[in-house]
Amino acid sequence: MIYADNAATTYFKPEKTIAAVCEYLKHPGNPGRGNNHMAMDAARMVLDTRIKLADLFDCDFDHVVFTSGVTESLNTVIQGLFGPQDHIITTYMEHNSVLRPLYRLGCRLSVCGGSTEEIKKHIRSDTKAVIINHVSNVTGEINDIEGIGKFCRQNGLLSVADTAQSAGVLPVSLKESELDVICFTGHKGLLAMQGIGGICLGEDIDIRPLKVGGSGFASFDTEHPKQYPSALEAGTLNVPGIVSLNRSLDFLKECGIENILRHEQLLAEEFCRILSSFDGVKVYREKEKEYTGIVSLNVEGMDAAAVSDILSREYGIETRAGAHCAPLIHEHYGTESTVRFSFGINNRKEDIRECSEALKEIIKIRGHEA
Ligand code: PMP
């Protein structure tokens, strides 16, 4: 099998991550909910992971909040910070985990491209925030969140970055980029388990929690504690997920995320170079833009789902076809779906040759059938 669906979830998880999760499950404890050894060990593990995440995202460790993933993070931030009276600027590259909470909120919305120039054109007197996808999960396009964060700070706007496709692949610094909020997920570039993610918050960001409940302390108070991270972490944390993040963060540090990015970009660029000589393949990349290891394409005259299905059934190449939960980018490119190849650290140069050979054969067969 050639797994090229890393944008959905990364296939490779470090051995040490898998081993640590198995070990934890033999001695589980509930952090902050007991002074027995297991609870204390779990609490230390949670704190250690917060510190490692604070190092990765360049923020304060007690402003790292754990959630179940970027979807919960974005829901928490959007519903907890904004209201229907606010005007929010976002991009056509957003995932439904940004768009649907915004639609439900009923806020005033402007949608544009992911550059400072485009955002600037949409600012109004009631604009409260800019929500920006760091990397499109459809095309792999990289947006300049550093420039946008700084621009927002200068213009008195809050900035929220969705780093679902960039965390663990591209450097992201809350402080240097002057971003207010970073939302991340564990199971993609961070090489951890599904069901764990988080929010990194800057100073003075007052989010009304979506859920309140057990906090492990101040139990007689009728109100949930207001200080971070507890304010946004009601209930027992996903400790196995946090353990997996902890070990995967070590792995990423050893590898160097810049080496991972380079590896994935080289594979994607080589793939695009080969595809450029094929007739009838449309690749959704633009010359002057930067991309990660994602390549979205369509084969002329063929349904994206059919192409992806043949790749899987006949060649053992696993991709994803569809709209990828990002409807607006399809309006931009005039498509309804694409075949998405997303390369990761599990992929080798030979995979690129095999993927392009398979596509070449599919195009040939389609030619005969047409
Ligand atoms: N945003 C982007 C850009 C994504 O690619 C994804 C995952 N496809 C999400 C948000 C949602 O991530 P999760 O399902 O891990 O919450």
Domain count, the chain: 2
Q: What percentage of the chain exceeds 90 in pLDDT?
A: 98
Ligand 1 centroid to residue 367 C-alpha, Å = 36
Residues 261 and 247 in one domain: no
Confidence of residue 365 (pLDDT cuts 50, 70, 90): confident
**What CATH number is given to the structural domain containing 318?**
3.90.1150.10
Residues 144 and 209 in one domain: yes
Residue to mutate (ligand 1; options 5, 91, 137; most atoms within 8 A of CB): 137
Residues 72 and 92 in one domain: yes
Residue nearest to atom 4 of ligand 1 (CA): 164
Residues 244 and 266 in one domain: no
236-263 pLDDT, tens digit each: 999 999 999 999 999 999 999 999 999 9
Residues 190-198, mean pLDDT to the nearest whole number: 98
**What CATH number is given to the structural domain containing 46?**
3.40.640.10
Question: 219-246: b or e for each residue (b if 16 or more CB lie within 10 Å)?
Answer: eeeeebbeebbbbbbbeebbbbbbbbbb
164-174 pLDDT, tens digit each: 999 999 999 99
Instruction: Indicate the SS3 state at residue 68.
Output: coil
Q: What is the mean pLDDT of the chain?
A: 97
- Is the minimum distance from the CB of 136 to ligand 1 under 6 angstroms? no
Residues 59 and 144 in one domain: yes
Ligand 1 centroid to residue 128 C-alpha, Å = 23
- Is the minimum distance from the CB of 294 to ligand 1 under 6 angstroms? no
Residues 80-85, mean pLDDT to the nearest whole number: 98
- At 45 the pLDDT is 98
- At 240 the pLDDT is 98
Residues 249 and 262 in one domain: no
- Is the minimum distance from the CB of 137 to ligand 1 under 6 angstroms? yes
- Is the minimum distance from the CB of 10 to ligand 1 under 6 angstroms? no
Residues 5-28, mean pLDDT to the nearest whole number: 98
Q: Which of 255, 280, 297 is the last residue of a domain?
A: 255
260-280 pLDDT, tens digit each: 999 999 999 999 999 999 999
Residues 72 and 86 in one domain: yes
- What is the number of the ligand 1 atom nearest to the C-alpha of 136? 3
- Is the minimum distance from the CB of 342 to ligand 1 under 6 angstroms? no
Residues 144 and 262 in one domain: no
- Token match 């600027």: residue? 89
Residues 336 and 235 in one domain: no
Residues 101 and 181 in one domain: yes
Residues 101 and 229 in one domain: yes
Confidence of residue 307 (pLDDT cuts 50, 70, 90): very high
Ligand 1 centroid to residue 220 C-alpha, Å = 37
Residue 127, beta-bridge partner list:
87
Does residue 368 register a pLDDT over 70? no
- At 346 the pLDDT is 97
Q: Which of 211, 231, 255 is the last residue of a domain?
A: 255
- What is the number of the ligand 1 atom nearest to the C-alpha of 325? 8
Task: Report in angstroms the alpha-carbon separations of 222 from 22, 218, 282, 322.
Answer: 37, 9, 58, 47
- What is the number of the ligand 1 atom nearest to the C-alpha of 137? 5
Does residue 370 register a pLDDT over 60? no
Does residue 76 register a pLDDT over 70? yes
- At 297 the pLDDT is 98
- What is the number of the ligand 1 atom nearest to the C-alpha of 8? 8
Confidence of residue 366 (pLDDT cuts 50, 70, 90): confident
39-63 pLDDT, tens digit each: 999 999 999 999 999 999 999 999 9
Q: Which of 255, 281, 302 is the last residue of a domain?
A: 255
121-130 pLDDT, tens digit each: 999 999 999 9
The answer, yes or no, to whether ipTM is higher than 0.95 is yes
Q: How far apart are CA 320 and CA 295, in angstroms?
A: 11
Domain of residue 28 covers 15-255
- Is the minimum distance from the CB of 162 to ligand 1 under 6 angstroms? yes
Residues 129 and 238 in one domain: yes
- Is the minimum distance from the CB of 165 to ligand 1 under 6 angstroms? yes
Identify whether the C-beta of residue 127 lies closer than 8 Å to the C-beta of residue 85.
no
86-97 pLDDT, tens digit each: 999 999 999 999
For residue 55, the number of C-alpha atoms closer than 13 Å in the C-beta half-sphere is 11
317-355 pLDDT, tens digit each: 999 999 999 999 999 999 999 999 999 999 999 999 999
Q: How far apart are CA 150 and CA 206, in angstroms?
A: 20
- What is the number of the ligand 1 atom nearest to the C-alpha of 93? 3
